[in-house]
Amino acid sequence: MSAEVWLTQLHKNGYRITKARAAVVETVEKSTRALTPVEVYDMARKKYRALGLVTVYRTLEKLEELHIIQRVHQPMGCQAFISAGHGHQHLLLCQNCGQVAFFEGDDLDALIESVSKKTGYQISEHWFQLFGLCANCRVN
């Protein structure tokens, strides 16, 4: 499905479509939690055994460049990646299973405006992320 779209995006931007890239793309696109390069490596090698870790790094780099995936920051580390979602979305992470949910919510404008006035800063970007337990982990 969407893995094809990702590959098309790569191709449109002058990158070649290879078995290695397809394996990485399919792995990351399908995942509902953020994956580290090594995790991607381990999972994608089930699809394409000859894959090298270096190629995973290089492919993730390109996907991030094209805003197809995004880096996820967590207390435990900031090397994991997940789909960038569509439009301006924020992340909600399950602290138990790692599951990621996307949400929109820019009721932040008023707050940002007020902070700008108080501090004298010209604010151009914001990061907003929520942590908790997903519906599943909540009951178990």
Site residues, its own copies (CB under 8 A): 73, 78, 92, 94-95, 101, 103, 105, 107-108, 110-112, 114-116, 118-135, 138
Smaller CB separation from its own copies, 3 or 112: 112
Residue 70 and residue 18: Cα distance in Å, rounded?
22
51 is in the binding site of which of its own copies, DNA, none (Cβ under 5 to 8 A by kind)?
DNA
Smaller CB separation from DNA, 51 or 93: 51
Alpha-carbon 100 to chain mean position: 9
DSSP per position, 49-116: TT--HHHHHHHHHHHHHTTSEEEEEETTEEEEEEE--SSS-EEEEETTT-BEEEE---THHHHHHHHH
Q: Which range binds DNA by CB under 7 A, 54-62, 97-105, 112-120, 129-137? A: 54-62
The residue from 28, 40, 51, 94 that contacts DNA (CB under 7 A) is 51
Q: CA-based diameter of the chain, in Å?
A: 56
Binding mask 73-92 for DNA (x = CB under 7 A): ------x-------------
